[in-house]
Amino acid sequence: MGQSTPIGTKTILIVEDEALIRFDLVDFFEAAGWRVFEAENADDAIRILDHHKEVRAVLTDVQMPGSMDGVKLAHYVRERFPPTVLFVVSGNLHIPDSELPPQTTFLPKPFDAHRLLRQLEAAQPR
């Protein structure tokens, strides 16, 4: 993984149970020079976040097996790690902003990863 990237910047956690999609996103962000953590459910994601405080962005799918879905995970992350940049992805109907934590971007599936990258880099503190 992109170990050369300075800690605290350009670090993202991808939470997606569909491995084919997750692999692609991991590859994509790594190719873009990001340090990438991956999790296939919310429980794994929380474990990673607890150990790697440097994660500044979280991209999570909504539908996942396990105790928490993506929306709950997003709320959890916003509460525990308030500055995190949050993206919630779903193939289901649009999730209204009122159900999402503040400053969270909803992305319908499938989404344009290049555009997401531009958004992320713009939001990234320099």
Q: Which of 27, 50, 99, 121 binds other proteins (CB under 8 A)?
A: 27
Q: Which of 1, 23, 47, 118 binds other proteins (CB under 8 A)?
A: 23
- Residue 36 CB, nearest approach to other proteins (Å): 14
Q: Give the angle 56-59-60 at the CA atoms, nearest 5°.
A: 135
Burial class (CB in 10 A: 0-12, 13-18, 19+), 119: middle
Report which of 47, 69, 49 is spatially closest to residue 57, judged by C-alpha positions: 49
Which is closer to other proteins, CB of 40 or CB of 69? 40
Q: Which residues bind other proteins (CB under 8 A)?
A: 17-25, 27-28, 31, 40, 63, 91-93, 108-110, 113
